[in-house]
Structure 1
Amino acid sequence: MLKVDEINVYYGNIQALKGVSLEINQGEIVTLIGANGAGKSTLLKAISGLLKPKQGSINYLGQSIAGKAAQAIVKQGISHVPEGRRVFANMTVEENL
Structure 2
Amino acid sequence: MDPLVLTHVVTHGLRAAGRYLAIKVTIPDRPGGLSRLLAVVSATGASVLDVVHVRTARKLALDEVEVRLTLETRGAAHREEVLEALIGAGFVVCVEDA
Normalising by structure 1, we get a TM-score of 0.28
Report which of the two structures shows the higher radius of gyration computed on alpha carbons.
Answer: 2
Q: TM-score, normalised by structure 2?
A: 0.28
